Amino acid sequence: MRQTSLFEVRDQSADNDSNSYCQKFSPDFDGWWVAARVCLERNRDPSSVHWLEDPSCRQTAARTGGLPAEFFTLAKAASCHSNDDRWSLLYSVAWRLKNEQPQLLSLAGDAQVARLNNYAKSVSRDVHKMKAFVRFRKVDGESVRYVSWFEPQHNIVQYAAPFFKRRFANMKWSILTPVGCAHWEGDGELWFSEAVDKTFAPANDQFEDAWRVYYRSIFNPARLKISAMQSEMPKKYWKNMPEASEIPALIKQAEVRTQSMLEQRKPADKLHCGARPSHPDQLLNAKLATEKLTPLQELKLQASLCDDCPQAQHATQTVFGEGSENAHIMIVGEQPGDQEDLQGRPFAGPAGQLLDNALRRAGISREQCYLTNAVKHFHFEPRGKQRIHKKPAPGVIASCHRWLQREIELVNPAIIVYLGATAASTQFSSAVRISKHRGQIMQADGRQHLITAHPASILRQVNQEARQAAYRSFVQDLMLVETGIAHAMQRAQ
Ligand code: URA
């Protein structure tokens, strides 16, 4: 072999081909990219470069070389894949992006692009599992450290470590794996060390039982779907998760426990639940057979089948958005109330009446708007004969978000008005305070946004005077909608 540059060696042994290069690089994405840039600048054909990982190479990050940002996102993930051909694949794609086809990444049918996407996807699934299934055990030494053993499918330790740094910023921790280890000392920088075997990790700690108790308490036998559960939590991860030892027994007891839950169910659990509309499946098939549905109508039918949150079993029906599909104004509330649940329409009860009046005072008619909610099922607690509104949990808001997101995409309003903190949390951080952030037109994602109070909060004011003052402020906020639409129109020109 003959040295041609610091890290590049002409490979005379390989097929006796004098144009073959053995490119050494420090075995991580940044190291590979520094070396790849050298090859790209010299226009080395991908078939002539052999990639050789060499931990002794010390290379600093290079610029993007004009390749699209999307390449780096995909390539960083794919570089963690366990297949040995990943480096040559990355280089081939980089070379073709530079020399042949700048739009290469949009050609999903191209064999190399497809392989790159598959590698990146497989790595991101592995990272997702690592985030979900790493279990730390407490180790008492000079100072307390939390240590975990995890067996990833790919070389994802460095790639995934910043997530754990953010998530467990105040602890000292180590994640040990058979492909390398990551460590965090509670401040400073993450550091990494060689692979170890499982004997280096603690086998258990005093929290083990707590995990099991927690898992038993959140396990709902009535919602058990074994295949879905095993696809989300594949068996290969079980051996390193303390709570997994509970699973076989919980599955075995599920039927008996469900039966006993049904027997113990109080009549109040079914309180006021109105007559359910015809089964959504039938509704969907009948509609599809006779009518051509708009995308929004199709979405509404899909949402009527949704039972992602437990409340779907108790509520009368899904209450989807309503109004013009081309509305400039979208109004987002929290969740349907008692009346909305029974009638199947948003803002059909007392809060809706107040909203209608306030809109009118602000010069807006309900017909100009598309009205919807952050959450599509009524969440309540039975109390005597009443169903008392229960604030939806963040998990419910998150799982319902896909419906709202799609409604926004399809209606494409110029302005979205958020009524109350739950609605605002769907777009802004949960740190939003209505008193602080209401009444200002904000721009994001190419449209205007306005936060204001929820009409139910006005109805809850203690006396008439306070109610009137709150109502006036509400109308004042709604008057800004016109300004928001004007801004949107100006920006569109
Ligand atoms: N409150 C809401 O947030 N939405 C409704 O649909 C009714 C009351």
Q: Among residues of the chain, what percentage have pLDDT more than 70?
A: 90
Q: For residue 419, give the ligand 1 atom closest to its CA.
A: 3
3-state DSSP of the chain: CEEEECCEEECCCHHHCCCCEEEEECCCHHHHHHHHHHHHHCCCCHHHEEEEECCCCCCCCCCCCCCCHHHHHHHHHHCCCCCCCHHHHHHHHHHHHHHCCCCHHHCCCCHHHHHHHHHHHHHHHHHHHHHHHCCCEEECCCCCEEEEECCCCCCCHHHHHHHHHHHCCCCCEEEECECEEEEECCCCCCEEECCCCHHHCCCCCCCHHHHHHHHHHHCCHHHCCHHHHHHHCCHHHHHHCHHHHHHHHHHHHHHHHHHHHHHHCCHHHHCCCCCCCCCHHHHHHHHHHHCCCCHHHHHHHHHHCCCCCHHHHCCCCCCCCEECCCCCEEEEECCCCHHHHHHCCCCCCHHHHHHHHHHHHCCCCHHHEEEEECCCCCCEEEECCEEEECCCCHHHHHHHHHHHHHHHHHHCCCEEEEEHHHHHHCCCCCCCCHHHHCCCEEEECCEEEEEECCHHHHHCCCCHHHHHHHHHHHHHHHHHHHHHHHHHHHHHC
* Unique residue bearing structure tokens 């929004």: 296
Q: Which CATH architecture group holds 283-492?
A: 3-Layer(aba) Sandwich (3.40)
More confident residue, 284 or 347: 347
pLDDT of amino acid 15: 43
- Per-residue pLDDT, averaged over 472-490, amounts to 93
Question: CB–CB of 130/150 below 8 Å?
Answer: yes
Task: Encode 95-122: b = buried (16+ Cβ within 10 Å), e = exposed.
Answer: bbbbeeeeebbeeeebeebebbbebbeb
Question: CB–CB of 373/334 below 8 Å?
Answer: yes
Band (pLDDT 50/70/90 cuts) for residue 335 is very high
pLDDT of amino acid 184: 96
More confident residue, 82 or 444: 82
More confident residue, 229 or 82: 82
Of 317, 319, 334, 376, which is best to mutate to test ligand 1, by the most ligand atoms within 8 angstroms of its C-beta? 334
Q: Flag whether pLDDT at 264 surpasses 90.
A: no
- Per-residue pLDDT, averaged over 233-245, amounts to 87
Q: For residue 346, give the ligand 1 atom closest to its CA.
A: 6
For ligand 1, the distance from its centroid to the CA atom of residue 340, given in whole angstroms, is 7
For ligand 1, the distance from its centroid to the CA atom of residue 401, given in whole angstroms, is 16
Q: Write down the mean pLDDT value for the chain.
A: 88
Any idea where the domains of the chain sit in the sequence? 9-129, 134-200, 208-263, 283-492
* Unique residue bearing structure tokens 């894949």: 81
Give the pairing type, strands 415-419 and 447-452.
parallel
Residues 276-321 have pLDDT tens digits of 666 555 566 666 667 678 899 889 988 888 888 888 888 989 999 9
What's the predicted TM-score (pTM) here?
A: 0.52
More confident residue, 3 or 493: 493
For ligand 1, the distance from its centroid to the CA atom of residue 363, given in whole angstroms, is 21
Q: At a CB cut-off of 8 Å and minimum separation 6, what does 491 contact? A: 443, 446
Q: At a CB cut-off of 8 Å and minimum separation 6, what does 92 contact? A: 46, 112
For ligand 1, the distance from its centroid to the CA atom of residue 405, given in whole angstroms, is 18
Q: Any idea what the Cα angle at residue 349 is, between residues 400 and 482, rounded to 5°? A: 75
For ligand 1, the distance from its centroid to the CA atom of residue 347, given in whole angstroms, is 5
Of 320, 322, 331, 340, which is best to mutate to test ligand 1, by the most ligand atoms within 8 angstroms of its C-beta? 340
pLDDT of amino acid 130: 95
pLDDT of amino acid 455: 97
Residues 189-203 have pLDDT tens digits of 999 999 999 999 888
For ligand 1, the distance from its centroid to the CA atom of residue 323, given in whole angstroms, is 15
Exposed/middle/buried for residue 243 (C-beta within 10 Å: 0-12, 13-18, 19+): buried
Q: Flag whether pLDDT at 270 surpasses 60.
A: no
Q: For residue 455, give the ligand 1 atom closest to its CA.
A: 1
pLDDT of amino acid 13: 47
Band (pLDDT 50/70/90 cuts) for residue 16 is very low
Of 331, 335, 342, 359, which is best to mutate to test ligand 1, by the most ligand atoms within 8 angstroms of its C-beta? 335
pLDDT of amino acid 158: 95
**Ligand 1 first shell, C-beta below 6 A:** 333-337, 340, 346-347, 349, 351-352, 373, 456
Q: Flag whether pLDDT at 1 surpasses 50.
A: no
For ligand 1, the distance from its centroid to the CA atom of residue 465, given in whole angstroms, is 24
CA–CA separation, 7 vs 24, rounded Å? 5
- Per-residue pLDDT, averaged over 435-440, amounts to 93
